[in-house]
Structure 1
């Protein structure tokens, strides 16, 4: 008689975690952050509430991990498309350094436009962004875990451009990157005008070239 194979508990746990994260994203997209509950997530994922509480202390923690997981998978895809074949030296993941600052920034901002327009990402991003405005703790966690690491990539690329003389040495990269990201988020949040690749290109041209006439 063949021996009975013991169940793989780690694989079962991975499946449960994935089901919970997917359920959390689905619910926050369908009913919003406020109406999403631990009970609803558990029912949608087909697990008990205690399974969720074993790994997360609150609804906010579940949704934050679900969103970070989704954003991470999306970023990996963008990095694979934009980075191409690795060259010599280190490159910040997701931020190409071809030596052409304008082209590199346009590539990244176009990818950001695609992410913001992606229905899979848009609804949970809006839900957590809106809730982060009224929930200071959630907002701070959103910035610390998701926004700051992404902004650090821009800082790295702009500092590299300073070293090559493509950006003035006295420019603060943290402020400079806001000239790139800020307009995209403003248009996305207000939904006043379409968010397009052409708009992303113009932001880069204005930010890098400046508004004053050149001598």
Structure 2
């Protein structure tokens, strides 16, 4: 008889983690963050509550990991998205075609699509809101998710400075807030639709103010 192969505990663990991630994201989308519980996540994932507490201290921590995993998978699925190709780029995800306004519009339009995506909107809103009252979670959200994305804008704006397309005296970290700030403000308050046209206007207004003066 062939020897019985021992179960692969690491694969079983990975399947459980993925099931917990998917359950957390699904529940937040369906019932909202406040009504999502560890018990509900465990039942949806088909695992014991103690399994979740062995890996995470709270539902906020579960959702954070689940969202980071989702974002990573989305980036892998995007593959040849903005910033890929042979035209050259200042950093992954930010194209550098030599036309700053066009490059920023491409990236901001992709951001609009992500913010309007039902699969991403609910967990993003939940983490944003919870991060306001939970300083530790908020800092982790900024450090792990926002800062890496904002760094791409800084890199592209610095390249534009070197090319003479942006004033040498601007601070790229402040300048990027002219692009991201209005977008997030409209998304958070839900005052008006978040559209590609609005993203294009933000870029036109911002780049007009960043360009060198004659």
- TM normalised by structure 1 equals 0.87
Q: 1:82 to 1:134 in 2, by over 3 A?
A: same
Paired residues of 1:162 and 1:168 also in contact (CA < 8 A)? yes
Q: List alignment gaps of at least 5 residues for structure 2.
A: none
State how far apart, in whole Å, the 2-side matches of 1:82 and 1:110 are. Answer: 18
Whether contact under 8 Å (1:83, 1:95) holds in the other structure is no
CA-CA distance at 1:179 after TM superposition: 0.4
Q: Is residue 83–residue 93 contact of structure 2 (8 Å, CA) maintained in 1?
A: no
Shift of 1:34: 2.4
The SS at the match of 1:91 is strand
> What is the CA-CA distance between 1:200 and the residue it aligns to?
0.7
Matching of residues 29-178 of structure 1 within 5 Å: 29-73=29-73, 91-178=90-177
CA distance change for structure 1 residues 130 and 208 in 2, over 3 Å: closer, same or farther? same
- C-alpha distance after superposition, 1:154-207 (max 9, x if no partner): 111111111111111110001100000011111111111111111111111110
Q: Check 1:120–1:151 CA distance in 2 against 1; reply closer, same or farther (3 A cut).
A: same
1:91–1:97: 8 Å Cα contact kept in structure 2?
yes
Q: Which moved more, 1:204-213 or 1:178-187?
A: 204-213
1:113–1:82 CA distance, 2 compared to 1 (3 A): farther
Deviation at 1:82, TM superposition (A): 12
CA pair 171-148 structure 1, distance change in 2 beyond 3 A: same
Mapped to 1, the partners of 2:144 and 2:132 lie a distance apart of 16
Q: Secondary structure at the match of 2:95?
A: coil
What is the RMSD computed on CA atoms of the aligned residues? Answer: 3.0
Maintained 8 Å contact 1:97/1:104? yes
How far is the alpha carbon of 1:83 from its aligned partner? 9.7
Which shows bigger deviation, 82-91 or 41-50? 82-91
Q: Which ranges in structure 1 are unaligned for 5 or more consecutive residues?
A: 74-78
1:110 positional shift: 0.4
The alpha carbon displacement at 1:5 in A equals 2.3
SS at match of 2:94: coil
- 1:135: how far off? 2.3
Which is further off, 175-184 or 30-39? 30-39
Worse-superposed segment, 200-209 or 32-41: 32-41
Return closer, same or farther for 1:82/1:170 CA change in 2, 3 Å cut-off.
Answer: farther
Name the CA shift for 1:140/1:108 in 2 (closer, same or farther; >3 Å): same
Q: 1:214 to 1:38 in 2, by over 3 A?
A: same
The TM-score, its normalising length taken from structure 2, stands at 0.88
